[in-house]
Structure 1
Amino acid sequence: MKIINLILFLSLILNQVHAQMPGELSIIPRPTSIKRLNDGFMISAKSKIYTDLNNPELEKIAGLFSERLSLQNKLTIARDAGPNVPARNLIHLTLKNAPDTLGKEGYILAVQKNAITVTAKTANGIFYGLQSLLQLIPFKTGIPSNEALIPGVVIVDKPRFEWRGLMLDVGRYFYSVDFIKKYIDHMAMHKLNTFHWHLTEDHGWRIEIKKYPRLTEIGAWREGTQFNRAATQINNTPHGGYYTQDQIREVVAYAKERYVTVIPEIEMPGHSLAALVAYPELSCSGGPFKIPANWGIQKDVLCAGNEQTFKFLEDVLTEVAELFPAPIVHIGGDECPKDRWKICRKCQARMKKEGLKDEHELQSYFIKRIENFLLTKRKNIIGWDEILEGGLAPNAAVMSWRGITGGVAAARQGHNVVMSPTAYMYFDYYQGAPYLEPLAVGSIVSLDKVYSFEPVPAALTKEEAKYIKGVQGNIWSEFIHSPDKVEYMTYPRAAALAEVAWTDPAMKNWNDFKRRMNVQYKRYSVLGINYARSAMNVSYSLIKHVENGTALVTLKTDSFEPDIRYTTDGTEPVYDSPKYTVPFQVGLPGTIKAAVFDENKKQYKVSVFSILK
């Protein structure tokens, strides 16, 4: 298909638009602009995907699209590249004539009767345009299809934030390379572009460092793992593992092909006991140490007064910098107890020599020194918001996790910020009522709660708000000990995160998101993602009428137009039980049992509420 002037192209397209709500489509995250057309495109095995000539990057993207189409729709299409692009029955990927306003990751997706065109300034945008296209293609679970009608549409889209991240803690629990790749695949389909790889912890060191082999010979293994809240609940099966440098390169390359940047985290000065077990001379006391089976913050940390500590970290970070092309390294900086520093002769001598008034300033000295070294490797640093204490390093970015206060403070100082507050973005927290959920930590971070998050605090001025670079969800692994549970805790909350990170807040709509998630859940099933069904769990609110011993009960879920059946007599709800439509009265005290049923009358989990007088 001949590339025509973009302005004429869009004018032609928009003349074909008819009055149909874009909400009928199911794309997550929701695009910036959607226009429906009269005629759609019939994709079949005879369709071909074409790329610009001599562009191997686009050809690679076309191949990834074909693989995903085959998995999702059981449909295989051929690929081609060249100047002679046919006029019909094709998907055309092109970097020509794209407007500058699309930026690095934006795209235009035009689905017409004869052809589909994805236009972008960069290959990143082409990749994201195809993620949207995949969500437009109808599918039937498990049923091969020779063809599918894709609705006619013009989408003009670009992200709100440049950092759209997920973190996975492999320090506390090790996950295989194959699973890391799968995790990255699922990120990419949601247009998430930053994988924060938490590689070191008190409980395990997971990255091979050639100069310090004991880090993985000793520091990557422990005798057991706490599996419940009680400290005595220990699985005495040894646990461990690490990634070789070749495996690291393999993951980084795999992520790059999917436009995901891998950010390594090497924890310091706290959360470093696994390193001290291997090299106890880097501690304040000299050890010996043992990797604990129990969770919790450890008091033994890297010695800030020991020059050998900095030599060790510089050597480690030199190897890390060579493995990860990302321009930033996460250096942790959180939850560093100062107990050992307060009684350490070397640390106190360091404080006196440098004129530091307390141990918080000693940590600031530590972080600034690491920043200066990484700058020689052309890397900037990012750390958890504790790095603000004692003074922020000049070029450091802040990941705000203890609420948004740290992010506000950093932005006001002119530092880049990634928002990741526990109350909204900690995906190791419960997704719903704990009695209906697997073991987790913290309070409830529901799908609704994630979706409601606004990363730019109202307290910031327009100029200060420019320093908010993005948002990130975190999976900490204290009680997440299998790939299936990682997926369960991540999805569907990562879909809500994706929309928070990508979509203009004026375009967000919770009810429409729930509708689109109904289709997304089916995609998850096709792709083998072990997503949580917590959005189907029923919760309640009530208004008590003490004067007559009753309460007005309202039932709700985080799902779209749920079919809720309930009882008030203590029996289990079945499909023939009363259907919830409006709030109802119940006598006090009393018990309500409620459950959602799907279109096949299959029951989800039963929620139980007892209401006292």
Structure 2
Amino acid sequence: MLLPRPASVHRRSGAFPLDEATGLTAPPELLPTAHWLLDALRRPTRLPLPLNTDAPRRIALELDDALGPEEYRLTVEPEGIRVAGGSRAGVFYGGQTLLQLLPPDVYRAAATGHAPRWSVPAVTVEDRPRFAWRGLLLDVARHFMPKHALLRLIDLLALHRLNVLHLHLTDDQGWRVEIRRYPRLTEVGSWRASSPLGAAEDAPDDNRPHGGYYTQDDIREIVAFAADRHISIVPEIDVPGHSQAAIAAYPELGVTDARLGVRTRWGVNPHLLNAEESTVAFYRHVLDEITELFPSLHVGIGGDECPKEQWRQDARTQQLIAERGLADEKGLQSWFTTQLADHLGTLGRRVLVWDEALEGPLPDSAMIASWRGTAGAVTGARRGFDVLSCPDHLVYLDYRQSEQDDEPIPFSIPLTLEDAYSFDPVPAALTAEEATRVVGGQANVWTEHMDSPRTVDYYVFPRLCAVAEALWTTGERDFGEFRVRLQAHLARLDAFGVEYRRPDGPLPWQTRPGVRGKPSTREEWDALIDRLTAGIRTAAPTSPPARA
């Protein structure tokens, strides 16, 4: 009943008893993984589990050069357990599988006093992931997630073998990371006066201030905590749209002279950054601090949902377009993107942009996050860009989960557990060669309607379990077989304290009676996505970039 499903499992007779006679051994390079596993085992069992001693029975952690970087082999016999991996990450994933072979109470934070007999069935598990990028985007700009809840979520990602947390740190409604050169980004930009109560265009304000941000020390702690679990934190600073919180803090960044506050409504916003050299310099300085905090190779700079009307109507912007020899406002956005992408390149990083960026030229090193269906993945891969698949109709976990009337704030189309399980990051339209450009996929969690961590639980789980299996498991997948294993896996989530959506719908306190959503039919949504992606499907192709 393992999840994600391993490549192979061979059961044998007998079991390994986990008791006072058990110890753990590990070479020096695996000590961080050993300490993580010991902590995970000691808390619920209260067993001593000494490290690197002559205990009668041992759990041995080992590196094996014959295995791939994230591959592992877990061998459980009555006399001992061996967890071998091709790297520290592989050994860590083997340790996660070992935990799943124990009773679900292993995921509790302390012993309950009614502990089961701790034993591990004799088995050999051999496993490896299908994709290198297995992620979740979490939007902390619309609703801030406190640090302790974010660390808990990271542990849940690790449990499901996910290895990327894409943090959407800035938007119109909030700026969530301390930038010491520009303190007003958090002094002003990290909180708003109210939020809409619901998804309808005329939704009333709740008249409740909302805010929060991570200090640089918080970020360092989050990054280190994630790294111990082999998760990379990919930051995103959204430009040149979705930037009203920054403009509220530093009005000189805006196109007009209007004094804006941090935005208190959802939806696409007409207010853009201006395209002055001084604004580009401002964001270069921001990215300098971001790259000092986040060691990830990729840094997101957004580029999505950027209406150009302010630029069209502004005389100074039109002058800049002419001076730079650009064709139009789309060319100006490409210019803006390229300035920041080139700067990130000097810092040894690669830019991650949403698929709207395919409407214009892009640096060779750019990676495309394809969210509006699969058009961005197909177009990006065919043009030679690396692609991250996150199609809205399969992995946008803020979408409503059923047609039931009691779904909380129902938004967009229904995205069921089975829909999420059907996710394949590689579009069928790609050739085998083009498919090699797809580095993996992720689920995206936009939090307009998730005002607490427990609400995030409801929207994310168990659909993220399905996405995790789609990204990890090799070979054919069967939803019926997955659902059987998921039923057992829910006991682990219960022990962990996850407030997931039940198969028959929300519990009473998970509903939002009287709060209107914005549901859509699949036909309406498909037509909208088709219109939105016309620009990238008809844009003049560029020469394929060299593989980075």
Aligned partner of 2:304 among 320, 334, 339: 334
Matched position secondary structure for 2:259: coil
Deviations 1:56-109 (A, max 9, x none): xx22222222332345x5353413137xx66x52110011x441xx32111010
Task: Indicate whether 1:59 and 2:34 are aligned.
Answer: no
Q: Which runs of 5+ in 2 are unaligned?
A: 507-548
Q: 1:154-233, aligned counterparts within 5 Å?
A: 154-230=124-200, 231-233=202-204
Matched-pair identity in %: 40
Taking the aligned partners of 1:455 and 1:505, their CA distance within structure 2 comes to 14
Q: Contact between 1:281 and 1:287, CA under 8 Å: does it hold in 2?
A: no
What is the 5 A alignment of 1:296-375?
296-304=267-275, 306-375=276-345
* TM-aligned CA deviation for residue 227 of structure 1: 1.8
Deviations 1:202-222 (A, max 9, x none): 000111111111111111111
C-alpha separation in 2, matches of 1:270 and 1:247:
27
Structure 2: how far apart are the matches of 1:425 and 1:189? Answer: 19
Q: CA deviation at 1:235?
A: 1.0
Match in the other structure for 1:91: 59
Amino acid at match of 1:123: R
CA distance in structure 1 between the aligned counterparts of 2:20 and 2:383, rounded to whole angstroms: 56
Work out the CA distance in 2 between the residues paired with 1:133 and 1:81: 19
Other-structure match for 1:531: 500
CA distance in 2, matches of 1:233, 1:37: 61
8 A contact 1:402–1:422 mirrored in 2: yes
Query: Compared with structure 1, are the counterparts of its residues 480 and 132 closer, same or farther at alpha carbon in structure 2 (3 Å cutoff)?
Result: same
2:258 maps to 1:287? yes
Q: Which residue of 2 aligns with 1:35?
A: 10
The whole-number CA distance in structure 2 between the counterparts of 1:327 and 1:81 is: 35
Q: What are the equivalent positions in structure 2 for 1:439-478 lying under 5 Å apart? A: 439-478=409-448
Matched residues in 1 for 2:8 and 2:76: separation?
Answer: 14
- Counterpart position of 1:12: none
CA distance in 2, matches of 1:76, 1:385: 51
The separation in 2 between residues aligned to 1:49 and 1:435, in whole angstroms, is 52
CA contact (8 A) 2:176 2:212 kept: yes
Aligned counterpart in structure 2 of residue 123 of structure 1, from 88, 98, 106: 88
Deviations 1:346-385 (A, max 9, x none): 3212221222212111111111111111101111001111
Which structure's relative contact order is higher, taking Cα pairs within 8 Å and 6+ residues apart?
A: 2
Report the Cα distance in structure 1 between the residues aligned to 2:402 and 2:250, rounded to whole angstroms.
42
Give the deviation of 1:411 after TM superposition: 0.6
Q: 1:352 to 1:139 in 2, by over 3 A?
A: closer
Deviation at 1:315, TM superposition (A): 0.5
1:247 aligns with 2:218: yes
Amino acid at match of 1:309: T
User: 1: distance between equivalents of 2:50 and 2:468?
Assistant: 30
Which AA in structure 1 matches 2:233? V
Greater share of residues in strand: 1
One-letter amino acid of the structure 1 residue matched with residue 325 of structure 2: G
What are structure 1's unaligned runs of at least 5 residues?
1-25, 539-613
Find the residue that maps to 2:143 and give its secondary structure. Answer: coil
**Contact map agreement 1:75 1:147 (CA 8 A) in 2:** no
**Which residue does the alignment assign to 2:50?**
79
What are the Cα deviations for residues 427-461 of structure 1, in whole angstroms up to 9, with x where unaligned?
01111224132124211111100001111111111
The 1:287/1:194 distance shift into structure 2, 3 A limit, reads same
Q: Cα–Cα, structure 1 residues 42 and 497, in superposed 2: closer, same or farther, change >3 Å?
A: same
Question: Which residue is equivalent to 1:111?
Answer: 76
More deviation, 112-121/344-353: 344-353
The 5 A counterparts of 1:133-148 are: 133-139=98-104, 144-145=114-115, 147-148=117-118
Tell me the number of residue pairs that the alignment of Structure 1 and Structure 2 aligns.
500
Q: Distance in 2 between matches of 1:30 and 1:129?
A: 13
* 2: CA distance, partners of 1:79 / 1:527: 25
Compared CA separation, residues 233 and 70, structure 1 to 2 (3 A): farther
Give, in whole Å, the separation in 1 of the partners of 2:104 and 2:498: 16
Q: What is the alpha-carbon root mean square deviation over aligned residues?
A: 1.7
Larger radius of gyration: 1
Q: Secondary structure at the match of 1:137?
A: coil
Partner secondary structure for residue 451 of structure 2? coil
SS of equivalent residue, structure 1 residue 34: strand
Matched residues in 2 for 1:469 and 1:324: separation? 20
AA aligned to 2:122 is G
Aligned-partner residue type, residue 514 of structure 1: R
CA distance in 2: counterparts of 1:321 and 1:308, whole angstroms:
20
Question: Do the aligned partners of 1:29 and 1:190 also contact (CA within 8 Å) in 2?
Answer: yes
* Distance in structure 2 (CA, Å) of the matches to 1:329 and 1:434: 38
The answer as to whether partners of 1:362 and 1:390 remain within 8 angstroms in 2 is no
Q: 1:204 to 1:537 in 2, by over 3 A?
A: closer
